[in-house]
Amino acid sequence: MDFLPIFVDIKSRPCLVVGGGEVAARKVELLLRAEADVRVIAPALGVSLGELRDARRVRHLARAFEDDDVAGNALVIAATDDPEVNRRISKLCREREQPVNVVDQPALCSFIMPSIIDRSPVVVAVSTGGASPVLARLMRARLEALIPSAFGQLAELAREFREQVKARLDDSGARRRFWEKVLDGPVAEMVFAGRRDSARSALASTLEDESSAPVGEVYLVGAGPGEPDLLTSRAIRLMQRADVVVYDRLVSDGVLDLTRRDAQRIYAGKERSRHALPQESINQLLVRLAGEGQRVLRLKGGDPFIFGRGGEEIEELAAHGIPFQIVPGITAASGCAAFAGIPLTHRDYAHSCAFVTGHLKGDRPNLNWKSLVQPQQTLVIYMGLVGLPIICDQLIRHGMRESMPAALIERGTTSRQRIYAGTLKSLPGIVERAGARAPTLTIIGEVVRLRDKLSWFEPRSSDAAAESAG
């Protein structure tokens, strides 16, 4: 290591920053977050430091740097645009064995300022030893997405109970196992879900009865339309925690690959006239697995509350007192439309949007056709591939013009995405000749006209996006 990573307590201690520009201001802001007593030396201050001075958050000496200024400081930061002054500050501090940082000049530094992920009291620092500050920022951005914003609240909760745990559990190994269970279990998930009072009660109960049976939990997670990069950070975190994965047909392989490799996988997909598990059996399965103490991931394509029957599943969980979390996903309508370059609403074309399911009930879709034929409205049809000829015919019969632009998107957002575009009259024939296969989404409305102008998505394989024109 070029530098020893340490955390220094500078609360209420004097710290010196030499320089009055925006670079100096960024360093001052960090020192103030650590509650340091900051003094700034510069002939003049920029806007940011001027505001801090006026708010009396820093002391300003409006003059040039002098050698004696380094004395008595816990640390010194040189952020001037004069290389000679910066070198002089570094030399003086090193002679006095005072910590010194010279911005963007690692060779003159005895300490460096890392990129910081602040979840106080949890703080993560990332450094490249001054080799590439931009790379450190990119690494920080990735870590920011992986570390929940409520991590600091979890640390505060642990601090609140630390002495109680030490008093009740004498053995250090028992304490370690207890905290592992708390910090990587339902209590932590309650904090991340914003239920801190519930988490406090659960932690107290866990401490009171260490012999209690394990409590399972169900994570109802929206897997989005197929592209793994569209998953939320919370979804990925829970996918990595689950012991059992119960997943649908519409969950893509790429998304499924992000679950724990040692987790048990149970397929609960539904295809037309063929269900791997009836819905009632799925509900009972979730209750049973969670009752056994398992952390169960219920992974559903799109969003679990939009034609996903998620409401039925959590009703059953709630009836049996099973803890659960709900993580929304990008629904197929917004994901597929975006990747196809079709805005669902547009000031010039559509002021409203209707989502309907095209599942056949008997031999035909059971829809309120009159309500769907409205001016300046986009119509999005889920699961309507088989019933597409009937749907288009009924819309025409109820007043929608035959020339209305329409598109069917197959495997939207993935590298195998295909778009079949035409009109309300021609689309069924186009789709039939192309041999389109589920999963699909159909969009009908004037906004489809914008597809050629606004499309930006390029499939990752050359034969992945065959398009047919009507």
Pairing verdict, β 244-247 and 295-300: parallel
Stretch 273-287: mean pLDDT:
82
pLDDT recorded at residue 186: 86
pLDDT recorded at residue 231: 93
Sign of CA dihedral 52, 56, 57, 63: positive
3 vs 80, higher pLDDT: 80
* CA end-to-end distance (rounded Å), the chain: 63
Query: Which of 79-83, 94-98, 366-370, 439-443 comes out lowest in average pLDDT?
Result: 366-370
Residue 56 gets which letter from DSSP? T
Q: Counting beta carbons within 10 angstroms of the beta carbon of residue 313, is it exposed (0 to 12), middle (13 to 18) or buried (19 or more)? A: buried
Tokens 């009259």 -> residue: 425
Cite the active site residues. Answer: 248, 270
**CA gap 295, 216 in Å, rounded:** 5
- The predicted model scores a pTM of 0.62
9 vs 241, higher pLDDT: 9
Residue 63 has pLDDT above 70, yes or no: yes
Tokens 């049976």 -> residue: 213
Tokens 């997943």 -> residue: 247
Helix (H) or strand (E) holding 430: helix 427-434
Nearest of 374, 395, 398 to residue 384 by alpha carbon: 395
Q: 15 in helix, strand or coil?
A: strand
